[in-house]
Chains A and B, each alone.
Chain A
Amino acid sequence: SQQGEEDPQALSIQEGENATMNCSYKTSINNLQWYRQNSGRGLVHLILIRSNEREKHSGRLRVTLDTSKKSSSLLITASRAADTASYFCATASLYNFNKFYFGSGTKLNVKP
């Protein structure tokens, strides 16, 4: 399977703390994306990092990509209760970059 796998499966932190989620994948990629899903809603795109990039920032989000280890991490700084959601990584294969593989997600709970 080429699916990205997120780790941990669940994470519970206090508001104001940082949250780090990891994603591992198996094959060469064109890009890796992170999505957020609030309960019962659709997935919302957060950030895209290309295979030739190592780090990217967007507001309180920081994404790193290590293609040698086939892994990525998503850091949410100064978390808020509103960040409570499931987070998914999605990889676009280098050989078929129209096909996106998702993992099982990390369920983040930010306690106020």
Chain B
Amino acid sequence: EAGVTQFPSHSVIEKGQTVTLRCDPISGHDNLYWYRRVMGKEIKFLLHFVKESKQDESGMPNNRFLAERTGGTYSTLKVQPAELEDSGVYFCASSQDVFGAGELFFGEGSRLTVL
């Protein structure tokens, strides 16, 4: 069974440009999460999808960030326009347990560097 895959693994862009990160969760996992880790600090929650619906997007930093999950399958996280402080590692995770309280399966992360 394939795990959670993220693309790209590393992206280097200029301030003001746009970047789109993609996450393919484990097949059949309704829950999909985005997290971000900046400069070795805590892993911060960004948002949570249940199927195609945004269950909780309280962690999204500002309106430069847009997440979508088409048809409840893969998800994209777009940053437009990117700022220096957006640099970090963006993790995607998925889980099967629709009632929560289950383990999360993580991708290897997308490292974003904004110059």
Quick check: is B56 within 8 A (CB to CB) of the other chain? yes
Contact B42 A92 (CB under 8 A): no
Answer whether A97 and B101 are a contact pair too, CB < 8 Å, given A42-B108, A43-B106, A44-B106: yes
Contact B101 A104 (CB under 8 A): no
Interface 1/0 per residue, B72-100 and A, CB below 8 Å: 00000000000000000001010000011
Contact A45 B35 (CB under 8 A): no
Looking at the complex, which one of B45, B56, B91, B93 makes contact with A101 (CB distance below 8 Å)?
B45
Quick check: is B71 within 8 A (CB to CB) of the other chain? no
Task: Give complex CA distance A35, B91 in Å.
Answer: 14
Query: Chain B residues near A103 (CB, 8 Å)?
Result: 42-43
Cβ of A22 to closest chain B Cβ, rounded Å? 15
Which A residues between 55 and 92 are near B, CB-CB below 8 angstroms?
88, 90, 92
Chain A: interface size category? 20 to 34
Task: Give complex CA distance A42, B9 in Å.
Answer: 11
Which residues of A approach B to under 8 Å, CB–CB?
3, 5, 30-31, 33, 35, 40-45, 48, 50, 88, 90, 92, 96-105
Besides A97-B99, A102-B35, 16 more A-B contacts (Cβ < 8 Å) are: A5-B42, A40-B108, A42-B106, A43-B43, A43-B93, A43-B106, A45-B104, A90-B104, A92-B101, A98-B55, A99-B56, A99-B100, A102-B42, A102-B44, A104-B43, A105-B42
Which residues of B approach A to under 8 Å, CB–CB?
3-4, 31, 33, 35, 40-45, 48, 50, 55-56, 91, 93, 99-101, 103-109
